[in-house]
Structure 1
Amino acid sequence: MKLGKVEFCHFLQILSLFLCLSGMNQAEITRSRSKPYFQSGRTRTKRSWVWNQFFVLEEYMGTDPLYVGKLHSDVDKGDGSIKYILSGEGASSIFIIDENTGDIHATKRLDREEQAYYTLRAQALDRLTNKPVEPESEFVIKIQDINDNEPKFLDGPYTAGVPEMSPVGTSVVQVTATDADDPTYGNSARVVYSILQGQPYFSVEPKTGVIKTALPNMDREAKDQYLLVIQAKDMVGQNGGLSGTTSVTVTLTDVNDNPPRFPRRSYQYNVPESLPVASVVARIKAADADVGPNAEMEYKIVDGDGLGVFKVSVDKDTQEGIITIQKELDFEAKTSYTLRIEAANMHVDPRFLSLGPFSDMTTVKIIVEDVDEPPVFTSRLYSMVVSEAAKVGTIIGTVAAHDPDASNSPVRYSIDRNTDLERYFNIDANSGVITTAKSLDRETNAVHNITVLAMESQNPAQIGRGYVAITILDINDNAPEFAMEYETTVCENAQPGQVIQKISAIDKDDPPNGHQFYFSLTAEAANNHNFTLQDNKDNTATVLTKRNGFRRQEQSVFYLPIFIVDSGSPSLSSTNTLTIRVCDCDADGIAQTCNAEAYILPAGLSTGALIAILACVLTLLGMSSFSYPSFPFNASWQKICAYKLQHSSPP
């Protein structure tokens, strides 16, 4: 016969009550009574309460109060003269006592998990006097546990991970269940673990709850997640025990146990020959069943005739191999390339090397397609020279271009006039011969950079460009001249042979061996008595004085013509005039004034003479504005001022 939970609890309760009653589990008073507890006089018989612990089963589900135990004093003769009083925890509210019989009952269902025991006090009183006949005594009612709580996984549900291919017995995670029942009483809180779902892949240790792998070589690529159901059962797993369950989600983490594999043994791609360098030609990808770093790979070209023309790199995000162009393609030179490409894992697990190499090979064929290309010049830059003396129509040089396509279309030439605005040059449309169209001047433009256009006759939209640098060669067509406008002075007190100016020359021409200038005075100036010229033979000349002293009042400016000849072939010459001003100089030879009208008073003229002169000047100026017929002011005052000047003497 099977008992349900409630029936089994009642059975245990009845059995416990029987044991309590038969084993002195109720509180009784065993006394050898001779006299009442309170007597007149000084003597009394010693009394003592001998209390045993009361036990009561929890979770009583009956309708009548639950009998707990009985209090009894040996002075009680059963005649109703003694009454029993109960106080303490739960007195009256949970526990009641029959004051006549001392029987204790529980009026409410008790839960050991809420409160495991109650402490109460008992008294036996004389009903008439209401005085104690026994000393008050304390006792305990202990709630006896029954198995009314199932094990619970407080931390569930669980998630855990374990590397794929782990050996049998690898720990995954530990689960723990708790049971609220009394662990010190019986087996109500003694839990064992078992696995209800998840075999045969995993197992659980019955006592510890440690989950372990149970099958070898579990493959994440085949199945990466498992849902386990773990049971915890109390009563050491015996029949009648209570149980609880939790779920454990176990994820197999990846290890690098799969090499990369190309889905195809060969690939073919067509690309136009006009594709620029660094352009992407193709993307290929080797499949790897692993994930994360275990699926990272690198690509490289290991063989083929495209080495140096193409390169392969890896896209870090997609793990694709990206093939790009390193050199320009030319259909006319080569129409196809073959590449042998390897994909290899970057992070190899040594445990799985026995499975074979963690790499794979594939072949990539690249077909170069022809496109209609513009004409190509035989040189990227043409350098030509022509003399600036060349006549109009002089041939300077020739450019050449051809159609690189198989059709080899004829080419026509022209000059991009944006690079030859003045139209100095012409080009023959068929031959590419460049000639002069107008006179050239090196001093205006020494180098002309022009662009020549080559156009396909069959497809005028296809235009190639060539670049021509035309250097204009110099001829001696510019005479030399002074290097600057000189401001030359000579002191009035200059001595013979004194240097007053050093001159140099410039020439707009640019002779190959540099300039060499020759200086001399012109024929009409060669015999002058004032100045001479000395050629320094270093493209400079020195002007020197020939006589002693100069006076501004006599001549304030001299003009010296200088003849300059260059070393060109034929040589050119020019006459340049040097202007020399006579100046008053200080003791150091520094010019003070070069004004020819200025007059310096003689040395030793007194202050009084200066005042007299000034007065005469002012008077004359004043009289000139007033004219009276009866008095000749102007003539008289002029004579007086002259007299003053003649007879003035130093102080």
Structure 2
Amino acid sequence: ISESVAAGARFPLESAQDPDVGINSLQTYQLSANPNFALDVQTRVDGSKYAELVLEKELDREEQRELNLVLTALDGGSPPRSAHVQIHIDVVDANDNAPVFNQSTYKASVRENTPSGTLVAKISAYDLDDGPNGDIVYSFSSHTPAKVRELFALDSATGELRVKGQLDYEETKLYEIYLQAKDKGAVPGVAHCKVLVEVVDVNDNAPEVTVTSVYSPVPEDAAPGTVVALLSVTDLDSHDNGLVNCFISPGIPFMLSSSLKNYYTLKTEGALDREKAAEYNITITAKDSGSPPFPAHSGTAQITVQVLDVNDNAPTFDHTTYRVKVPENTPVGAVLLRVNASDPDEGPNGETQYS
């Protein structure tokens, strides 16, 4: 009897036979106590008795797979005589249970750049029905975006969710994946769950240095703290992987300062002297604070700063004193001596005139 049969259904039973007549013949039937069936004894036109099982409470295979009843036939003799027969009822499964997930939401975390095939989560559902009605197939919900299907694969038999494509934290930090479990019944039952997959950042991006302004040339008499260049740094990674520090090579009269996160100012730190260094090629290096910092993930930028000459040097003669002997009778206009003076300054500042 199917568990889907409604209450009130009747099932005729085979009649007992008694060759006696009158009161000594078959008079009634009795049924052993049970929670589902009652017995209805009917009388035919010829006076013979027969019985029908009447379903009073619907069957539930998941609660009880089978029932064993005892039907007793009684005559009216004194003393009465009886006969017994076993009634074995198999409760046939109906697809009256939908699959059920053991939790409605699963949470998992996976590092970006994780190799394909890595297990992310395993979902699990059960179905109390029997046979195909209880066999479960897992799949993505119909409204799952194509991008999710490209990045993740779901085993329809085991419920294992694995990495399929290339995960990128900088592109998407969290995926909300809707999955379903469906049984194989003629009218399948369906259950739904979601998996929240957090993508964990990996230090896979190098900092980038962008020079926004350069003020060059710089006068050699510029005061310490004079702004030479403005620059910014970016790193697509997060947390410490995206925390960037900038520095320049030591031993040069410049410094970096920062008043806002990821924004830096290149300033003069000491006195400049064009006569010692007319140009500086400054390398700005940015490194993140990842653990460990990616060796290849340091960004650099080159800034060329020219030093503008200031007339800060006086001409100097080759000698402080010149001595010359002049013969008498030397004609007017004769060259007696050539003196030489030099000025390390540049351009007009370094041109000398004699008087």
Query: Normalising by the residue count of structure 1, what TM-score does the alignment of the two structures yield?
Result: 0.37
CA spacing shift, 1:264–1:323, aligned 2, 3 Å:
closer
CA spacing shift, 1:346–1:140, aligned 2, 3 Å:
same
CA spacing shift, 1:330–1:240, aligned 2, 3 Å:
same
Asked if structure 1 preserves the Cα contact closer than 8 Å seen for 2:215 and 2:229, the reply is: no
CA spacing shift, 1:274–1:201, aligned 2, 3 Å:
closer
Deviation at 1:281, TM superposition (A): 11
Query: Residue type of the partner of 2:55?
Result: A
Report which of the two has the higher share of helix.
Answer: 1
CA spacing shift, 1:123–1:330, aligned 2, 3 Å:
same
Q: Which runs of 5+ in 1 are unaligned?
A: 1-55, 368-651
Q: Is 1:143 aligned to residue 91 of structure 2?
A: yes
CA spacing shift, 1:253–1:76, aligned 2, 3 Å:
farther
Within 5 Å, give how 1:627-642 maps onto structure 2. none
In the other structure, the counterpart of 1:66 is: 9
In the other structure, the counterpart of 1:298 is: 245
- In 2: Cα distance, 1:268 partner to 1:131 partner: 123
Asked if structure 1 preserves the Cα contact closer than 8 Å seen for 2:3 and 2:59, the reply is: yes
Asked if structure 2 preserves the Cα contact closer than 8 Å seen for 1:163 and 1:252, the reply is: yes
- In 1: Cα distance, 2:31 partner to 2:114 partner: 67
CA spacing shift, 1:106–1:254, aligned 2, 3 Å:
same
In the other structure, the counterpart of 1:222 is: 171
Q: Is 1:232 aligned to residue 181 of structure 2?
A: yes
In the other structure, the counterpart of 2:108 is: 160
CA spacing shift, 1:81–1:363, aligned 2, 3 Å:
same
Within 5 Å, give how 1:75-114 maps onto structure 2. 75=18, 81-90=26-35, 94-99=36-41, 100-114=49-63
Q: Is 1:57 aligned to residue 5 of structure 2?
A: no
SS where residue 241 of structure 2 aligns?
Answer: helix
Deviation at 1:167, TM superposition (A): 2.4
Q: Is 1:343 aligned to residue 292 of structure 2?
A: no
SS where residue 240 of structure 2 aligns?
Answer: helix
Query: Residue type of the partner of 2:200?
Result: T
Deviation at 1:274, TM superposition (A): 8.2
In the other structure, the counterpart of 1:195 is: 140
Q: Is 1:361 aligned to residue 300 of structure 2?
A: yes
- In 2: Cα distance, 1:224 partner to 1:144 partner: 49
CA spacing shift, 1:179–1:291, aligned 2, 3 Å:
same
CA spacing shift, 1:78–1:176, aligned 2, 3 Å:
farther
In the other structure, the counterpart of 2:199 is: 252
CA spacing shift, 1:300–1:242, aligned 2, 3 Å:
same
Query: Residue type of the partner of 1:297?
Result: V
Deviations 1:221-274 (A, max 9, x none): 223333322221212xx754332222223232211221101233655599x958
Within 5 Å, give how 1:214-613 maps onto structure 2. 214-215=164-165, 217-235=166-184, 240-264=187-211, 273=223, 285-302=232-249, 305-306=252-253, 310=255, 320=262, 339-347=282-290, 357-362=296-301
Q: Percent identity?
A: 26
Question: Which entry has the higher C-alpha Rg, 1 or 2?
Answer: 1
- In 2: Cα distance, 1:157 partner to 1:141 partner: 40
Deviation at 1:95, TM superposition (A): 1.0
CA spacing shift, 1:142–1:251, aligned 2, 3 Å:
same
- In 2: Cα distance, 1:181 partner to 1:311 partner: 72
Asked if structure 1 preserves the Cα contact closer than 8 Å seen for 2:248 and 2:285, the reply is: yes
Deviation at 1:181, TM superposition (A): 1.2
Report which of the two has the higher share of strand.
Answer: 2
- In 2: Cα distance, 1:219 partner to 1:290 partner: 10
SS where residue 150 of structure 1 aligns?
Answer: coil
SS where residue 255 of structure 1 aligns?
Answer: coil
Asked if structure 2 preserves the Cα contact closer than 8 Å seen for 1:120 and 1:140, the reply is: yes
Query: Residue type of the partner of 2:120?
Result: V
Deviations 1:501-538 (A, max 9, x none): xxxxxxxxxxxxxxxxxxxxxxxxxxxxxxxxxxxxxx
In the other structure, the counterpart of 1:210 is: 160
Asked if structure 2 preserves the Cα contact closer than 8 Å seen for 1:266 and 1:364, the reply is: no
Deviations 1:67-90 (A, max 9, x none): 346254343779862311113221
- In 2: Cα distance, 1:290 partner to 1:361 partner: 17
Deviation at 1:285, TM superposition (A): 4.3
Asked if structure 2 preserves the Cα contact closer than 8 Å seen for 1:303 and 1:341, the reply is: no
Q: Is 1:131 aligned to residue 73 of structure 2?
A: no
- In 1: Cα distance, 2:20 partner to 2:100 partner: 54
Greater RCO structure (CA 8 Å; 6+ sep): 2
- In 1: Cα distance, 2:21 partner to 2:266 partner: 114
Query: Residue type of the partner of 1:82?
Result: Q
Q: Which runs of 5+ in 2 are unaligned?
A: 42-48, 307-355
- In 1: Cα distance, 2:89 partner to 2:63 partner: 14
- In 2: Cα distance, 1:128 partner to 1:302 partner: 120
Asked if structure 2 preserves the Cα contact closer than 8 Å seen for 1:304 and 1:339, the reply is: no
- In 1: Cα distance, 2:64 partner to 2:231 partner: 73
CA spacing shift, 1:326–1:68, aligned 2, 3 Å:
farther
- In 2: Cα distance, 1:78 partner to 1:211 partner: 75
- In 2: Cα distance, 1:76 partner to 1:260 partner: 104
Asked if structure 1 preserves the Cα contact closer than 8 Å seen for 2:39 and 2:54, the reply is: yes
Query: Residue type of the partner of 2:172?
Result: K
Deviations 1:342-385 (A, max 9, x none): 102343779x87xxx31112357999xxxxxxxxxxxxxxxxxx
Deviations 1:134-185 (A, max 9, x none): 25x6655342211111212231222322222222222111111111213xxx
**Pick aligned residue for 2:117 from 161, 169, 172:** 169
CA spacing shift, 1:227–1:116, aligned 2, 3 Å:
same
SS where residue 294 of structure 1 aligns?
Answer: helix
SS where residue 132 of structure 2 aligns?
Answer: coil
In the other structure, the counterpart of 1:520 is: none
- In 2: Cα distance, 1:177 partner to 1:343 partner: 51
Deviation at 1:218, TM superposition (A): 2.9
SS where residue 84 of structure 1 aligns?
Answer: strand
